[in-house]
Structure 1
Amino acid sequence: MNISKEQIDDLNAVVKVDISKEDYHDKVEKILKDYRRQANIPGFRKGQVPMGLIKKQYGRAVLVDEVNKLLQDNLNKYLNEEKLDVLGNPLPKQQDSFDWDREEFSFEFELGLAPEFDANLKTKKPVTHYKIVADKKMIEEQIERIRKQYGKLISKKEVGKKDEVTGTFTNQAEEIDHKSTLELDKIKNKKVLESLTGKKPGDVVTLKTKGLFKEDYLLSGALGINRDKADNLNIEVNFTIEEINERQPAELNQELFDKLFGKDKITSEKELKERLKADAEKQFEQQADQKLLNDVTERLIETTKFDLPSEFLKKWIQMTGEKPLSPEEANDEYEKSEKGLRYQLIEGKIIKDHNIELTFDELKEFTKGFIKSQMAQYGQMNPAEEELDAIAGRVMSNQEEVKRLSEQLMSQKLLALYKEKANLKVKEVTYENFVKEVYG
């Protein structure tokens, strides 16, 4: 067998594989002899079927199968030995005059080669690294919510402007019949507030749904309907008052601090504010990190210039999908996937240049950390190490889960690298301003 490569240009090559009779003959003969021993053909005793008949019936199929195995195994071996960085898979070139009755065969494969380039993390224009801070207003609002959540409900006979009113919303045409509790400080419409003020249990008030709440998302929960329906709803509903309560906020004292964080973990209002600020900013850090990862990715794609073997890749997309595509369809698919392919190559280059590796032990510890955080959501704060090991073992036996967790761990490692090496400009913002800048 002989394998040779013709370099077309920096991104394209053709590999030629020549297979002679000596490469496949003995293997084909052995398989056909095995077929002869096992063949049950009417008119012949088992094992006594003439070899000529066996070759006539099975010879071509066995030959094709063995030549294709030889071809695949040796082509892959050649690509690995020559360290050819191939995009997609080799594409066989069409041979109109190919003849399986010959004893020697030649096959040609088109290769699309990965480009050589440098991936520089120190981009000329810096990437914004947001540091989201919890400002005084946010902390005060959170404390107010906590005090209300842990406060006492005092029953009342008439509705006041800051009370909580429980009742049932009804609208026969829209099939609405849902019991809800209205927090009147979340009502947007002043006329609605006036119409509710002074009412008593048993009274029925007609309310317009459009613009009812300060936050639009509250409407779906209040009426017991899905969000899509609520977003466009502009009707009148009847609200039958059943119960009226005033929520008396909890005092900021040691009893409340212990309920929130455990006995004597927080001992003053100052410490409470510091803890709430730290917890909020830790949560915000995850959003800021994801934004940074996305922005560095975009900047690298924008600034790392290289060509791709685009015509080869379009042909590869056209020929290797679940169903054959037209040239136009393949071109569309290529345009959709080109950006992702570019970043895969850039990411691979960065990982190689900075010797980033994932070890089994690292992945196992990462998996255990993920499991621990999941368990904490269900109140299991201190699972035993043996239990974590057992669950991690089951998770890591699933290849899809291993792939997903490996990608997450690699993203963490890349993020740490970007924070250390990339050209970043730190910008301190409140969460409110972060949302405005990032999401408009």
Structure 2
Amino acid sequence: MNISHQNIDDINANIQVEIAPEDYNPQVDKAIKDQAKQAKLPGFRPGMVPTGHIKRMYGKAILFDEINKIINDKIAEYISEQKLEVLGQPLPKEEDKDGQYNWDFKDTFNFDYEIGLAPQFDIPFSNETEFTEYDIKADEETLAERIKNLRRSYGKMTNPEVSEEGDVLYATLKQDKEEGIEKTTSIRTDIIEDAKVKKSLVGLKKDDTVKVDVKKAFKVADLARILGVTEDEAENLDVTKFELTVKNINRLEESDLNQEFFDKLFPAGEVTTEEQFNEKVKEEVENLFKQNSAQKLRNDMYTFGMEKVDAKFPEEFLKKWLKATNPNLEATEIEEGFEDFLNNLKWTIIENRIVTANNLEVKYDEVVDLAKERIYAQIKMYNINEEPTDEQLQQFAMQLLGDREQANRLFEEVKALKVFDQLKETVKIKSKKIDFDKFEKLDK
């Protein structure tokens, strides 16, 4: 069996395969015998169908399948041996050669395949490259907002007589026209966008009525939910003035800063004073900010790498490959998403070359640990006091990794984290303290 390749240019090549009877007949004969043992045909006992009968009936189909298997395996071996950095998979050239062959187990077959090659470029990260890693501090406003949310989460619902900003109004909205929309529902005043509308809903009592321009007050998605209509219907309302009549006022009162509240958030007795509580909240918030800082550094490295690497890709081949592997995709859909596809491909090549150059390896235990970490964070999000055991986390992780798509996603995430850690060791990192409110404005 002969395999060779010929470069058309730096990013396109052809692979030629020649396969003779002595290359394929042993495997084809075995496949015919295996099928004879399994075949159930009229006139023959199960497993006793003569191989000659199977060959006459199904021989050409078996020959075709086995040749495809052999060629696919050998091409994969050849690509690995030649260290070709192939994009996608080889595609058979469109010229139809089937008519040239008798498929009589005596032909020597010649097949041609197109391949796309990854462009060659230098990895742009070195010990001369400098990035900033931000040490994010919680400003007073951010801490106050976090404390308020915690107190409201463990607070109690009351029904005051007069509305204030942030209340939930149970009210009837009636469109200002005959036979218009009328809906009684709960309305969160904190999601109202227009300051004047929000102010008009402060100081209301039960049965008070006020006119509201709902298009000014709400985003389309919120308005559709409140009125019980589709987003298209909400977007195209012919009359946007509604009469709002208050039926009831609901207010979530903040929990008192007492021992009962502290023990709901932290292990019993760990926090006993407001000062300790504030310090714990600050520690929690700033730990979360470390994730923001790491994500910002990753984004900066990604942007730097993408801007520095100027590479051409075998675009025509890649579009054909996308169509071949996704036959339901329309050409217009491929064109619309192609730029994003190339960007993802470019960064994947950068990552893979960093992995290869530094002998990085993703181990199964690391994927399991990341799955456990994600599950733990999700559990704590819904119940801060729940402490799952390692055995429970292990069980949940195994269930998660049983889903191939989730397992692949976590594998890629571990690989990305390893590449990030490697880059942090390669480049210069400058640390800079910054308040969270200023950090949020960095990329705006």
Match of 1:348 in 2: 352
Match of 1:174 in 2: 181
Please point out which of 282, 285, 298 is paired with 2:287. 282
Aligned partners of 2:222, 2:36: CA distance in 1, in Å?
78
- Under a length normalisation based on structure 2, what TM-score does the superposition of the two structures give? 0.75
Write the mapping of 1:420-435 to structure 2, written as runs, cut at 5 A: 420-435=425-440
Aligned partners of 2:62, 2:315: CA distance in 1, in Å?
37
How many residues end up aligned between the 2 structures? 428
Aligned partners of 1:375, 1:251: CA distance in 2, in Å?
25
Write the mapping of 1:178-189 to structure 2, written as runs, cut at 5 A: 178-179=185-186, 188-189=195-196
- Under a length normalisation based on structure 1, what TM-score does the superposition of the two structures give? 0.76
The one-letter code sitting in structure 2 at the alignment partner of 1:353 is: A
Aligned partners of 2:36, 2:225: CA distance in 1, in Å?
78
User: Could you tell which deviates more after superposition, 5-14 or 401-410?
Assistant: 5-14
Match of 1:206 in 2: 210
Matched, 1:358 2:362: yes
For residue 395 of structure 1, report the CA deviation from its aligned partner. Answer: 2.3
Aligned partners of 1:129, 1:271: CA distance in 2, in Å?
29
Please point out which of 116, 119, 125 is paired with 1:115. 119
Structure 1 residue runs without a partner (length 5+):
none
For residue 62 of structure 1, report the CA deviation from its aligned partner. Answer: 4.0
For residue 340 of structure 1, report the CA deviation from its aligned partner. Answer: 1.4
Q: Would the alpha carbon gap of residues 99 and 54 (structure 1) be closer, same or farther in structure 2, given more than 3 Å must change?
A: farther
Aligned partners of 2:25, 2:250: CA distance in 1, in Å?
92
Aligned partners of 2:244, 2:81: CA distance in 1, in Å?
77
The one-letter code sitting in structure 1 at the alignment partner of 2:185 is: H
Q: Would the alpha carbon gap of residues 182 and 58 (structure 1) be closer, same or farther in structure 2, given more than 3 Å must change?
A: closer
Conserved in 2, the CA contact under 8 Å of 1:85 and 1:113? Answer: yes
Aligned to 2:3, what secondary structure does the other structure show?
Answer: strand
Match of 1:235 in 2: 241
For residue 71 of structure 1, report the CA deviation from its aligned partner. Answer: 2.3
Conserved in 1, the CA contact under 8 Å of 2:152 and 2:252? Answer: no
Highest CA radius of gyration, 1 or 2? 1
Aligned partners of 1:242, 1:54: CA distance in 2, in Å?
81
Aligned to 2:83, what secondary structure does the other structure show?
Answer: coil
Structure 2 residue runs without a partner (length 5+):
none
Please point out which of 412, 425, 436 is paired with 2:417. 412
Match of 2:108 in 1: 104
For residue 322 of structure 1, report the CA deviation from its aligned partner. Answer: 0.9
- Sequence identity, in percent? 31
Aligned to 1:208, what secondary structure does the other structure show?
Answer: strand
Conserved in 2, the CA contact under 8 Å of 1:159 and 1:244? Answer: no
The one-letter code sitting in structure 1 at the alignment partner of 2:196 is: N
The one-letter code sitting in structure 2 at the alignment partner of 1:170 is: L
Matched, 1:386 2:391: yes
Match of 1:91 in 2: 91
1:320-360 Cα distance to aligned partner (Å, 9 max, x none): 4415977x986666544221111110010112223322212
Aligned partners of 1:150, 1:25: CA distance in 2, in Å?
75
1:362-409 Cα distance to aligned partner (Å, 9 max, x none): 222222222222333343722233323222222222222211222222
User: Could you tell which deviates more after superposition, 334-343 or 309-318?
Assistant: 309-318
Aligned to 1:15, what secondary structure does the other structure show?
Answer: strand
Write the mapping of 1:43-82 to structure 2, written as runs, cut at 5 A: 58-82=58-82
Conserved in 1, the CA contact under 8 Å of 2:3 and 2:15? Answer: yes
Match of 1:337 in 2: 341
Conserved in 2, the CA contact under 8 Å of 1:317 and 1:333? Answer: no
Aligned partners of 1:133, 1:20: CA distance in 2, in Å?
70
Aligned partners of 2:234, 2:107: CA distance in 1, in Å?
74
What is the Cα-based RMSD across aligned positions, in Å?
Answer: 4.6
1:146-187 Cα distance to aligned partner (Å, 9 max, x none): 56666788876x63867968553332632221245768x999
Conserved in 1, the CA contact under 8 Å of 2:33 and 2:51? Answer: no
1:195-232 Cα distance to aligned partner (Å, 9 max, x none): 864x655x42224245987x979975995768958789
Aligned partners of 2:57, 2:410: CA distance in 1, in Å?
51
Match of 1:372 in 2: 376
Conserved in 2, the CA contact under 8 Å of 1:181 and 1:222? Answer: no
Aligned partners of 2:242, 2:414: CA distance in 1, in Å?
51
Match of 1:298 in 2: 303
